[in-house]
């Protein structure tokens, strides 16, 4: 950082001219991109194009798409409302055992999603630790409901938001809040007027990651929520089921998932980030 600090970033062009990329970097970078992009090209080639309208307009596909968008949106919102404050605490809180807490937050990344789903069942299922009480008190069972899909997605997506947001908060530092405090701002005011705008890009990219993870979530959902059209059958679950009898249909539905995710990410990303910078 030679000029300005995060509030006044140097214009991209100047920075780019000053730091040229070493030539060798292009090779592994291209390889990495190919590893991600080429399998998707494989999907495109395998797709049964003439049947696409019929397959995409089937009631199962439409239901799954709507359910996926709805649950992923709610899960992302929950990630922001719950994970945002958690990231702030992890980055700035003065607590013993913070390092331990941080590693616990990462657990959903390490756990196979199916195990995550089982863990949720043992907690919130009808015979689970908390679920049993809820069942007895309210007569409500959480598994097999749309709410259980959202819980599963939030579980697996939370670390993505927390980790990227925590990183952003650490990078931003506490200087500006300190200055705001000397100017008489209360902690709440400084948080709202200084911290939040500073970390907004990190929050946006974290939310996009969380949304993408929620859209693609499969293992925890099938274990915890089951699969029923219109209630718990999200796009990945539909793909998994379709591939049993009709691989072409599964490929087409996967493409739908790819397209929707790319569109959502492309639309959300530049606008919000540019709006801040």
Partner 1 sequence: MIKRVMATAAAAGLALTLAACGSSSTSGAAPTSGASAPRTLTVLAASSLTGTFTALKSQFETDNPGVTVKFSFGASSDLAQQIVNGSPADLFAAASDATMKTVTDASLATSSPTIFATNVLQIATVPGNPKGIASFADLAKPGLKVVVCAPAVPCGAAATKIEKATGVTLKPVSQEPDVKSTLSKVTTGNADAGLVYVTDVMAAKGTVQGVTFPESSQAVTNYPIAVLKNATQADLAAKFEALVTGELGQKTLSAAGFGAKK
Residues at the contact surface with partner 1, assessed by CB under 8 A: 118, 121-122, 125-127, 141, 143-144, 222-223, 225-229, 232-233, 237, 240-247
User: In the structure encoding, which two tokens stand for residue 72, read together?
Assistant: 């992923």
To the nearest whole angstrom, how small is the minimum distance from the Cβ of residue 222 to partner 1?
6
To the nearest whole angstrom, how small is the minimum distance from the Cβ of residue 243 to partner 1?
7
Residues 156, 163 contacting (CB under 8 angstroms): no
**24 or 103: CB nearest partner 1:** 24
To the nearest whole angstrom, how small is the minimum distance from the Cβ of residue 214 to partner 1?
20
**174 or 246: CB nearest partner 1:** 246
**83 or 219: CB nearest partner 1:** 219
To the nearest whole angstrom, how small is the minimum distance from the Cβ of residue 240 to partner 1?
5
**141 or 272: CB nearest partner 1:** 141
**38 or 179: CB nearest partner 1:** 38
Which of 72, 277, 28, 90 shows the shortest CA–CA distance to 269? 277
User: How many Cα neighbours within 13 Å face the side chain of 210?
Assistant: 34
To the nearest whole angstrom, how small is the minimum distance from the Cβ of residue 142 to partner 1?
9
Q: 256-259: long-range contacts (C-beta < 8 A, 24 or more apart)?
A: 256/56, 256/61, 256/65, 257/68, 257/215, 257/216, 258/40, 258/43
| Alpha-carbon gap, residue 177 to 171, rounded angstroms | 13
């Amino acid at each position: 950082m030679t000029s300005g600090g995060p509030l006044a970033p140097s214009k991209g062009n100047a920075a780019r001219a000053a730091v040229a990329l070493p030539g060798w970097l292009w090779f592994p970078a291209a390889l990495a991109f190919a590893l991600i992009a080429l399998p998707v090209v494989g999907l495109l080639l395998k797709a049964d194009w003439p049947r696409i309208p019929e397959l995409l307009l089937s009631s199962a596909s439409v239901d799954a798409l709507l359910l996926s968008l709805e649950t992923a949106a709610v899960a992302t919102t929950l990630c922001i409302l719950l994970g945002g404050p958690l990231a702030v605490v992890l980055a700035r809180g003065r607590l013993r055992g913070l390092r331990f807490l941080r590693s616990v937050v990462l657990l959903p990344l390490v756990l196979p999603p199916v195990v995550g789903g089982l863990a949720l069942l043992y907690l919130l299922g009808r015979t689970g630790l908390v679920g049993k009480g809820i069942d007895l008190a309210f007569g409500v069972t959480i598994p097999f409901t749309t709410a259980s899909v959202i819980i599963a997605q939030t579980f697996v997506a939370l670390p993505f938001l927390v980790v990227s947001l925590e990183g952003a908060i650490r990078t931003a530092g506490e200087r500006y809040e300190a200055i705001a405090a000397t100017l008489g701002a209360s902690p709440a005011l400084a948080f709202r007027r200084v911290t939040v705008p500073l970390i907004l890009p990190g929050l946006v990219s974290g939310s996009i990651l969380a949304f993408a993870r929620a859209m693609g979530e499969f293992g925890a959902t099938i274990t915890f929520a089951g699969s029923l059209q219109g209630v718990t059958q999200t796009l990945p679950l539909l793909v998994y089921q379709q591939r049993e009898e009709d691989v072409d249909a599964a490929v087409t539905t996967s493409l739908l998932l790819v397209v929707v995710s790319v569109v959502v990410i492309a639309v959300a990303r530049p606008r919000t980030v540019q709006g801040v910078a």
